[in-house]
């Protein structure tokens, strides 16, 4: 990443002003509003699973799709006058009103409103081939109830739609504002179909908790497709959501930090949103789901308002993803948390106009197949930890970035501007760069970056796994860039790129590294082959981009041994990310025999020792400038 140095005196003055403005805040985690440049700070509770291994909060009745036709009240909706069999219902002025708890089986077509006002009683609606259109207000309006459970009867198609302009009784009235609107808890279940058109604003909205346990639901809305103020819990279902201005799914309670969360425990989602795909004011927790999201016109949309938000998965609190399939094509960050992001498993295909995955504090990847096919910066957090997985990152700036802190440097941003960062673990910003790090403990990570491939404002640590970096071709960035130390204690590293700002590992490592500067730029696809005195392959690599420098570290690279460096030739081994396994190398040009005399051996292509200062602060990492 390109960095801008500030005068320390100016920086000190700015810090004094900032601290004065924040003196009254007592907070532990940084969160941002829907605009990129306006931030607020809140304390967020950690998401936990319930006893039935779900992140959402469900009651037994939320899954109960059964009903007794013999005891239920039936409502056959008709514009000429609805037919009501049973009690608790009346009709007047094109409003069918339910005023008591119980089960109501509803059929028919209607131009008007179904309204529920049942005090603190539970109402069970069974939609059995219903079509309700209301040009001046909500199609279904829950004014008061303990809870409304709506069952989509098996094999039925149900349609709700409103008009583009609501009629209110007073000029300051703004609600209802959804085609299916509830002031109280709302549950949707059943195996039937529900299609909702929200022409005025929202499609489905609850001002309390919204629970969906099943159903095939299609929502087209001007604003948000599905919105639960206090929470949204989704156990299963098939969802097709489209919005022109709002979010696909949203929970927005910003006054109670125990609310404003979204939990998805299952389901299939296809979301085309005008703004964010899924947005939680606090935590977003996904147990397992299939989620496809496009925000705006996708990652290459240059016509958007960059003060707004067009993220795929977004939370002001923590994001945890346990498993699932995710296809995210977003104008803004594909996955974004103002706190932590944890990915335990899953398959991810990400194309982002800004960051692939961004966490203000800690980004933790425990496993999964993650392909960042397009991004400004690929993986970003105050700390980035990769424990396992198969990861591929393509970035027009930095590939993997651990940023933030008080180093006197401002991180440049993409079209959405600079990112904000807090301290690891969710502490407010202001700590030293020693708290920032990138750590790789396993898996396979491939980076193709036009900026810095690996960029840490603090340390880089590799204990195991494979890291392949195709860094920049220009001399203003480097394959490896760090301000602390780069410690290799295990694993395989091959980082190629330009030579002008090239850095290697630090000689405090316990595993040896070799840094090679080439006399001329090597063409993309040129094989670099390193073998030991016995002729055994240490590494065979064909970088995907032109390069004039390469750093190699391998458990098979031993201090005191002599290795032979080759370029060109042919390699017929199995290749992935330019790295060959089961090497079968022939026909290359021998450049040099090199003695590995320390934990970092830096040479030119003839084997002559290259010396230089270490820009990053640890010994032995930076070549000549």
Residue pLDDT, tens place only, 142-181: 999 999 999 999 999 999 999 999 999 999 999 999 999 9
Question: Residue 49 — very low, low, confident or very high, per pLDDT cuts 50/70/90?
Answer: confident
Q: Is the pLDDT of residue 616 over 70?
A: no
**CA 531, CA 303: separation in Å to the nearest integer?**
52
First to last CA, the chain: 18
* β-strand pairing of 39-42 with 29-32: antiparallel
Question: Hey, what are 14's tokens?
Answer: 């700015």
Return the closest-CA partner of residue 528 out of 497, 499, 555, 501.
497
Average pLDDT across the chain, whole number: 90
In a domain, 4, yes or no: no
Average pLDDT over every residue of 541-564: 98
Give the separation between CA 301 and CA 503, rounded to whole angstroms. 35
Domain for residue 506, yes or no? Answer: yes
Confidence of residue 620 (pLDDT cuts 50, 70, 90): very low
The residue-averaged pLDDT of 90-119 equals: 98
Please state, as a whole number, how many other Cβ atoms lie within 10 Å of the Cβ of residue 444. Answer: 20
Distance CA 50, CA 64 (A): 19
For residue 381, pLDDT beyond 60: yes
CA distance 235 to 189: 10
519, part of any domain = yes
In this prediction, residue 424 carries a pLDDT of: 52
In this structure, of 18-27, 190-199, 401-410, 593-602, the range with the lowest mean pLDDT score is: 18-27
Quote the DSSP letter at residue 63.
G
Q: Which residues pair with 525 in a beta bridge?
A: none
pLDDT for position 420: 58
Percent of the chain at pLDDT > 70 equals 86
Query: How are beta strands 313-315 and 335-337 bridged, if at all?
Result: parallel
CB-CB contact of 3 with 407 (8 Å): no
Q: What is the pLDDT of residues 187-221, one digit of tens each?
A: 999 999 999 999 999 999 999 999 999 999 999 99
pLDDT at 404 over 70: no
Beta pairing partners, 454: 400, 480
- 3-class secondary structure, 394: strand
User: Which string of b and e fits 382-395 if b means at least 16 CB within 10 Å?
Assistant: bbbbbbbbbbbbbb
| pLDDT interval class at 15 (50, 70, 90) | very low
Which tokens in the block code for residue 155? 């094999």
**Which pLDDT score is estimated for 51?**
75
pTM of this structure = 0.89
pLDDT band of 48, cuts 50, 70, 90: confident
User: What are the tens digits of pLDDT across the range 460-483?
Assistant: 999 999 999 999 999 999 999 999
Give percent of the chain above pLDDT 90. 83
Q: For the chain, what is the radius of gyration of the CA atoms? A: 29
Beta-carbon contacts of 78 under 8 Å, excluding residues fewer than 6 positions away, are: 108, 109, 110
- Per-residue pLDDT averaged across 18-47, rounded? 41
- 299 occurs within a structural domain: no
CB 499 within 8 A of CB 549: yes
The phi and psi torsions of 265 (rounded to 5 degrees) equal -105, -5
Q: What is the CATH number of the domain that holds 529?
A: 2.60.40
Give the model's confidence band at 304: pLDDT under 50 very low, under 70 low, under 90 confident, else very high. confident
Alpha helices by DSSP H, 420-515: none
Residue 245 covered by a domain: no
Q: What's the confidence (pLDDT) of residue 621?
A: 52
Tally of structural domains, the chain: 2
Give CA–CA dist 276/314, Å, rounded.
Answer: 7
Domain that holds residue 116: 56-234
User: Residue 94 is encoded by which pair of tokens?
Assistant: 């094109």
Average pLDDT over residues 212-239: 99
Residue 26 has pLDDT above 70, yes or no: no
pLDDT of residue 415: 63
Residue where one domain finishes, among candidates 234, 256, 273: 234
Higher pLDDT, 351 or 37: 351
Q: Where are the alpha helices (DSSP H) in 137-238?
A: none
| Residue, of 312 and 3, whose pLDDT is higher | 312
For residue 559, tell me if it sits in a domain. yes
Those residues whose C-beta lies under 8 Å from the C-beta of residue 345, and which sit 6 or more positions away, are 321, 322, 323, 366, 367, 368
303 versus 366: which is more confidently predicted?
Answer: 366
Question: Over 80: is that where the pLDDT of 10 sits?
Answer: no
Within a domain: residue 400? no
The answer to whether residue 188 sits within a structural domain is yes
């Amino acid at each position: 990443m390109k960095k801008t140095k500030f005068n320390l005196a100016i920086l000190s003055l700015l810090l004094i002003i900032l601290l004065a403005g924040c003196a009254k805040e007592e907070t532990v985690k940084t969160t941002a509003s829907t605009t990129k440049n306006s931030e607020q700070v809140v304390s967020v509770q950690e998401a936990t699973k319930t006893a039935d291994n779900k992140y959402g909060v469900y009651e037994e009745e939320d899954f109960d799709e059964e009903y007794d036709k013999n005891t239920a009240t039936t409502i056959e909706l008709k514009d000429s006058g609805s037919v009501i069999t049973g009690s608790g219902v009346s009709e007047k002025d094109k409003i069918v009103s339910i005023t008591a708890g119980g089960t109501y089986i509803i059929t028919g077509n209607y131009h008007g409103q179904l309204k529920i006002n049942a005090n603190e009683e539970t109402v069970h609606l069974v939609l059995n081939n219903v079509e309700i259109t209301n040009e001046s207000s909500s199609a279904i309006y829950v004014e008061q109830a303990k809870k409304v459970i709506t069952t989509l009867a098996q094999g039925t198609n149900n349609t709700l739609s409103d008009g583009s302009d609501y009629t209110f009784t007073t000029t300051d009235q703004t609600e209802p504002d959804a085609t299916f609107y509830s002031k109280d808890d709302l549950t949707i279940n059943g195996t039937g179909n529900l299609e909702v058109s929200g022409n005025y604003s929202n499609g489905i909205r609850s001002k309390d908790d919204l629970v969906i346990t099943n159903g095939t639901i299609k929502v087209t809305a001007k604003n948000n497709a599905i919105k639960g103020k206090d929470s949204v819990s989704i156990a299963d279902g098939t969802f097709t959501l489209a919005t022109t201005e709002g979010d696909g799914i949203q929970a927005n309670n910003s006054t109670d930090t125990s609310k404003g969360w979204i939990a998805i425990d299952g389901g299939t989602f296809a979301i085309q949103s005008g703004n964010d795909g899924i947005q939680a004011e606090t935590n977003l927790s996904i147990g397992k789901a299939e989620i496809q999201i496009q925000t705006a016109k996708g990652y290459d949309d240059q016509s958007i308002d960059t003060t707004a938000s067009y993220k795929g998965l977004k939370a002001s609190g923590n994001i945890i993803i346990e498993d699932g399939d995710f296809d995210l094509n977003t104008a803004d960050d594909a996955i974004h948390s103002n706190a932590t992001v944890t990915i335990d498993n899953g398959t991810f295909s990400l194309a982002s106009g800004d960051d692939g995955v961004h966490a203000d504090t800690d980004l933790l990847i425990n496993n999964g197949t993650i392909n960042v096919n397009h991004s400004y910066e690929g993986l970003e957090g105050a700390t980035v930890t990769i424990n396992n997985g198969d990861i591929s990152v393509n970035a027009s700036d930095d590939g993997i970035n651990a940023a933030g802190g008080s180093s006197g440097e401002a991180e440049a941003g993409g079209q959405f501007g600079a990112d904000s960062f807090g301290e690891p673990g969710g502490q407010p910003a202001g700590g030293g760069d020693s708290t920032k790090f990138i750590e790789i403990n396993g898996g396979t990570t491939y980076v193709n970056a036009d900026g810095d491939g690996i960029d840490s404002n603090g340390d880089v640590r590799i204990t195991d796994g494979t890291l392949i970096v195709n860094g920049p071709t220009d001399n203003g960035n480097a394959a490896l860039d760090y301000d602390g130390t780069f410690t290799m204690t295990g694993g395989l590293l091959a980082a190629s790129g330009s030579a002008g700002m090239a850095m290697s590992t630090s000689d405090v490592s316990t595993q040896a590294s070799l840094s090679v500067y080439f006399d001329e730029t090597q063409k993309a696809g040129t094989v670099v082959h390193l073998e030991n005195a016995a002729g055994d392959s240490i590494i065979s690599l064909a970088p995907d981009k032109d390069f004039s420098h390469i750093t190699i570290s391998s458990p098979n690279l031993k201090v005191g041994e002599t290795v032979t460096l080759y370029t060109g030739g042919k390699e017929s081994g199995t290749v992935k990310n330019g790295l060959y396994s089961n090497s079968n190398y022939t026909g290359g040009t021998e450049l040099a025999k090199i003695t590995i005399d320390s934990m970092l051996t830096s040479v030119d292509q003839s084997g002559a020792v290259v010396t230089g200062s270490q820009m990053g602060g640890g010994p032995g990492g930076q070549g000549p400038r």
